[in-house]
Each structure stands twice: as structure tokens, then as C-alpha cells.
Amino acid sequence: MRCFGFFIFGYHQQADMSIHVGITGGIGSGKTTICQIFECIGIPVYYADDRAKQLMVEDDQLRQAIRLTFGEESYAENGQLNRTYLANIVFKNPEQLRQLNALVHPAVFQDGIDWQAKHTNAPYTLKEAALLYESGSFRSLDKMICVYAPKKLRLERVMNRDSVSREVVQARMNKQMADREKMMLSNFVITNNGENALVEQVLQIHRTLTQRT
């Protein structure tokens, strides 16, 4: 829920006039790379996927819920998340994956709102995540940017970055919505094909989002 500049039950909440923009795209399309350019020009970025991983370790309520649902083995003795154990459960069973998402998504959503409240002076903020459309999170955002890169290039980039096989990347790609659909649903598309200059595309979107009519 957004904060409005009213006195509500004696609490003064600061007005949040900034626009909340989502940035998404397939695995390895270049979301993080492009967000770093936005950060260079002073735009705050919330990296939702990274934050989700952190919250699964740091948020006591979420830890408790994960333990209750998936068992004590979900965490190692040193408190770290047992990713292999959980991945084995959820990747074999879509219902278990749905349950895990049902625990993690609300925690990340609330954390994102708390984060936004700290950046109300920014002209707009960015929320970066791979599955903003698939998860339905795009509905809480004002504008959407889709990062597009050809599949072949994405495969090569992720194989190099993560030292994983083509099959592993392909399997992750198969779980994501088609680029064409994401592009059609988005307000802006950034093409990261190694030919179109990224900075110019970012600046063009920045100018549009900061234009006051």
C-alpha cells in the first residue's frame, strides 16, 4: 500500500510521489547490467530476487514458516538456507513450489514497500526481478520495462557467467514466459543484443519517466 501525505490516526506519513517501475526479462537478458546504469544516474534499484534470498535467511517469521512447511532440514545448523534440499523438493513438485512462493512473495512484497518508503524523493524507483509477470507482481507497479536479448546470446552469457551447461540454462528458460509476451505487456523495451547502445536506451526511458507535463 502506498503512503499518502495525510495524518492517519495521528501518524504522519510522508508522501510517496515517485513512480514505481518494474524491470524484467528472461534469464541472462541483462537486467542487472542495465540496472547498474540506472543506479549510475541516481535511480534507486530494489533487486527483488537477491533480496528474496537474503530474507529467507534473515527474516525470522519467514524462516519459521519455511521450517514448518518444509521441515527442519530447510536450514543448516549454521543457520544458512539448505538450498539443495529445498530445490530438490520444489523443482520436482509444482504444488510445493507454489507453497514456497506463497511464503516468500508476501515477505518480499512488504520488504519492497518498506524500501520504497525510504526512497520517496527519487523521481522513480526500479524493482528488478526475473518473474514480475509470472508472479503477478507487475500489477503493483506503475510502469514496466522489459529487457530483451536474443536467446542464443543469453545462453552464452549465462553459461559463461555461472559456469553451467547449456541444458541447465535452457531448463530455466523453459520455466519463463516468452519474450514476445513480456515485450507486448511492457511500456518500454531495452534491446541488449550487443549492438544497440544501452546507455542511450536507458537515458531515453529516464527522460520519459522524469518528464513533467
Per-residue CA distances from 212 to 2, 131, 181, 209 (Å): 21, 30, 30, 8
**Smallest distance from ligand ATP to CB 161, Å:** 4
**Smallest distance from ligand ATP to CB 179, Å:** 12
Q: Is the Cβ of residue 33 or residue 69 nearer to ligand ATP in the bound state?
A: 33
Could you identify the residue written with the cell 520436482? 92
Q: Is the Cβ of residue 202 or residue 209 nearer to ligand ATP in the bound state?
A: 202
Task: Count the neighbouring beta carbons within 10 Å of the beta carbon of residue 134.
Answer: 15
Q: Is the Cβ of residue 65 or residue 141 nearer to ligand ATP in the bound state?
A: 141
**Whether the Cβ atoms of residue 181 and residue 148 lie closer than 8 Å to each other:** no
Residue 26's nearest CA partner among 202, 157, 146 is 146
Q: Is the Cβ of residue 29 or residue 74 nearer to ligand ATP in the bound state?
A: 29
**Smallest distance from ligand ATP to CB 152, Å:** 13
Q: Is the Cβ of residue 63 or residue 182 nearer to ligand ATP in the bound state?
A: 182
**Smallest distance from ligand ATP to CB 54, Å:** 15
Q: Name the residues that contact ligand ATP, by CB under 6 A.
A: 25, 27-33, 130, 157-158, 161, 192, 194, 198
**Smallest distance from ligand ATP to CB 39, Å:** 13
d(CA 88, CA 90): 6
Q: Count Cβ neighbours within 10 Å for each residue of 88-120 and write b for 16 or more, e otherwise.
A: ebbeeeeebbebbbebbbebbeebbbebbeebb
